[in-house]
Chains A and B, each alone.
Chain A
Amino acid sequence: MALPKGLDPASAYRTMVRMRLVEEALTQAWADGLVPGEYHSGIGEEGINAGILAHLSGRDSMALDHRNTSPLVGRGTDITKIMLEVLGSEEGLNLGKAGHMHLMDPELPAASDGIVGASGPLAVGAAVANQRLNPGRVAVAFHGEAAMNQGMLMESYNLAVAWGLPVIFVCKDNKWSITTYSAEVTGGDLTDRAKAFGLRVRRASGDRVEDVYAAAGDLIRRARSGAGPGFLHVSCHRPAGHFEGDPIVRLLKNPRGQAAEWGPSIADSVRAQGGGSRSERAAALTDLTKRGARAARDYTLRSRMDPIRRGRRLLDPASADRIEAMEAAEVETAITVAREAVDQRATFGATGGGAR
């Protein structure tokens, strides 16, 4: 397709590359034991984030979910501060009090919430405030398709329409609810659902930043002018699974190792006395196998649907090379600072407290 008016492909590509490099630096730090707890990366969502962020300016509000690093990076939050926070340093963006699931940047403003669906009501509230205090500003809620089964998000759709709010709900559909296949636990079609609330609905492919940019632009312009809220459905893939160390991804990467870990107790349980009939047990095994097969299919698809690879084709190779080199240097500097800030600790810094 022809590039949509207003989109600067070099700028969009730079944003996506920066997001990807920061995420890669953080997932590597996680693997190296430097990021405590969980880490939900936004790898695979760069096209969505960059396509939407290109329309935001001034103090438009963002309400983010558990994959919040990339939108903050794209919006210009200091990447060293983000990295320090995620690695658990007091020098971090939120003084070490938040961690990656709860990054907050009041300057943007952007707030993250690890409770699924919570970005909806947060954005609705920001939109009410914007409507009264700062007309012309919009609020954007980022959420997954799984969040659309959460009551508070559906209530937010209704509230947004009932009050005619300048808010856009961005549904990043990666087809998985944590490690459950969303279609297995979801009724109906999601865009039909959003339409039924009275939201203006658009769809886009998350692997094509220009597609997201065009669809989002329509909704954001409309909301900004006071004509009401919108819903953008965007497809995407999550190559690393729900979070780093996702058991299904481990199964795909190392089937033999994971089978050795899970196999014996599954075999014992299938044979255990008392319980379901033979056909119920067979249905359960089919269920598990199907989950693995679906994950494998999505896992394969992601390399073809990589928003960065597709975004690169929008500019000439030499410019792309230059952008990649510049961003890589900046990200490398930042992650070096963050790693040095925490690398002296043992067991995440705790000095005692537990049976040895």
Chain B
Amino acid sequence: MTIMEYGQAVDFAVGEAMAEDDRVVTWGEDVKLIHRDLLVRFGPERVRDTPISESAFLYAGIGAAMAGLRPVVEIMLIDFLPVAWSGIVNAASKFRDFSGGRWEIPLVVRAGCGGWYTDGGQHEQVLWGQLAAYPNINVVCPSTPADAAGLMLTAVETDEVVVFLEHQLLSEQWIDYLAGGSRSTVDFDRLIPADGAQGEVPLPLERVPLGRAAVRREGSDVALISLGVGVHRCIEAAQVLGGSGIDASVLDLRSVSPLDRDAVVDQVRKTRRVVVVDEDYVRGGLTGEIAAVLLEADVAAAYARVAVEGTIPFAPHLEYAALPNVERIVAAAAGLE
């Protein structure tokens, strides 16, 4: 066991995977500076800066993966992946099937995601619901340093495509880079979940399987289901709800695709009430998917969702109100029959 910060844990796992396998390489915008520790250990051939050319360097990652490398392609923020969307939708998602299952694409797409630190509507999206819609695309977002390292190790080692989302609020690297965290005049302590930003990481690293959720809190009255920062907001909401005699469980999905349907069904079978807490858009995404899973499994439950309804506003108080905050979660859970 050792204590690591969230971003440090991701880089540590990438480093372990690179040390283990020469075919693992990484490239993206500014990665030499941002991941300087990887650069000085593995050299400039395996850790490369790219031009601001997302569609080319993402698609090139697919080509490289098909030709024998195991690339970790970093799209700085997931908001920039839409510039390269065809690589995901028409290539990474399709080529294994087009090849009759003979061509694997061992590609990790690594990107920051998520808000709460006030960076506006083009830098704070998560987009995990849309990404999870495409065949053969795994999508994960860890909520702790241990999961960050364990999921990244799995992501690099699997022969499948994995979109690995690092929540920007949990990552010390992104808070420094994007939120101006180096300023002594700002204080994110009230917003950053301490247990998510820093925590124990087992050594040697323990792999976290794709598609396996984790129960973060047991409870019998209502199940709160989320991932990323949402998990920490749910844990805080569960404490508040406990004060009014409502016993909430918290399920950390960890993967949006594959989705741990069994874990969702198990939780909600016990509680018969569920609130899905999602930092993604409310339409066409994870919240509706969870409802469908429950219907298909014939689980009758009172259901509510707390998600993002529109463009994430810039002004801090408007942003806070638009994101799935503790007050919204508590109100949704308390409102269920």
Contacts and interface: CB of A to CB of B under 8 A. Distances in A.
A9 to B, nearest CB: 36
A121 to B, nearest CB: 12
Nearest to A30: B180
B193 interface: yes
Contacts of B189: 347, 354, 356
A353 B40 CA distance: 38
Size class of the A contact interface (CB-based, 8 Å): 35 or more
Given A99-B119, A116-B52, A270-B40, A179 B232 contact: no
B313 interface: yes
B197 to A, nearest CB: 9
A38 B314 contact: no
Interface stretch (B140-148, B219-227, B319-327): B319-327
Interface stretch (A195-203, A232-240, A275-283): A275-283
Interface in B42-79: 42-47, 49-56, 79
Contacts of A353: 116, 190-191, 233, 236, 320, 323, 325-327
A205 to B, nearest CB: 24
A284 B40 contact: yes
B1 interface: no
B117 interface: yes
Contacts of A151: 53, 55-56, 83
A283 B190 CA distance: 42
A35 to B, nearest CB: 8
Contacts of B313: 96-97
A146 interface: yes
A353 B230 CA distance: 10
B32 interface: yes
A96 B318 contact: yes
Nearest to B43: A280
Interface in A264-298: 265-266, 268-270, 272-277, 280-281, 283-285, 287-288, 291
22 contacts: A30-B180, A31-B183, A36-B179, A36-B316, A38-B178, A98-B314, A99-B315, A117-B52, A149-B53, A177-B52, A243-B180, A266-B37, A268-B37, A269-B41, A273-B19, A284-B44, A284-B47, A288-B40, A345-B317, A349-B320, A350-B317, A353-B233
Interface of A: 30-33, 36-39, 85, 88-90, 92, 94, 96-102, 113-117, 146-147, 149-152, 177-180, 182, 184-186, 243-245, 247-248, 250, 262, 265-266, 268-270, 272-277, 280-281, 283-285, 287-288, 291, 345-356
